[in-house]
Amino acid sequence: MRRAGLFGVPRVRPWSWQAFLLGCVVVAISAAFQGICVALGAKLYFAAFLPGLFMLGIVAGTPAAGFAALFTIPLVWWAFIPPFFEFNALSNANTDSINLFCLLAVLLIGLADLCRETMRIVSQGGLKSPGESAATNPQ
């Protein structure tokens, strides 16, 4: 793992086995937290998974976060949507919840990728000054 300079966020190479293992760990921790929320009566099936996906996207990159998001959908369907621990046909409301999760996951993973790229640029000394750019017209 490398440090991202100024921000001190540990980073993992995006396509490494450590990134995907971290994705599985994040999904497991989020599932445990979601189980506690469901036991307390919450019906927001994907709420505990979204912050984990965002942090995973920053630390491990887009591929691991995408894998975790795809792994989350059947897990939530099986474990948290009634009847519990079995796959049944989804109602329209449950299908809408999955669609909304997919939309939010794509947006959060994209935002995490932008944050990760910004941290990389800042740790390398920032952007070039306008005089060094090849796109400027010297006239």
Say yes or no to pLDDT of 138 above 60.
no
Exposed / middle / buried, residue 80 (Cβ in 10 Å: 0-12, 13-18, 19+): buried
pTM listed for this prediction: 0.82
Indicate the residue type of 114: L
Tell me the C-alpha distance between 99 and 118, whole Å.
29
Q: What is the pLDDT of residue 120?
A: 86
Say yes or no to pLDDT of 134 above 80.
no
Tens-digit pLDDT profile for residues 90-124: 999 999 999 999 999 999 999 999 999 998 888 88
Tens-digit pLDDT profile for residues 2-26: 554 446 667 789 999 999 999 999 9
3-state secondary structure of 10: strand
3-state secondary structure of 14: coil
Tens-digit pLDDT profile for residues 39-59: 998 888 999 999 999 999 999
Indicate the residue type of 120: R
DSSP secondary structure of 39-73: HTT---TTTTHHHHHHHHHHHH-HHHHHHHHHHHH
Q: Residues for the chain: how many in total?
A: 139
Q: What is the pLDDT of residue 65?
A: 97
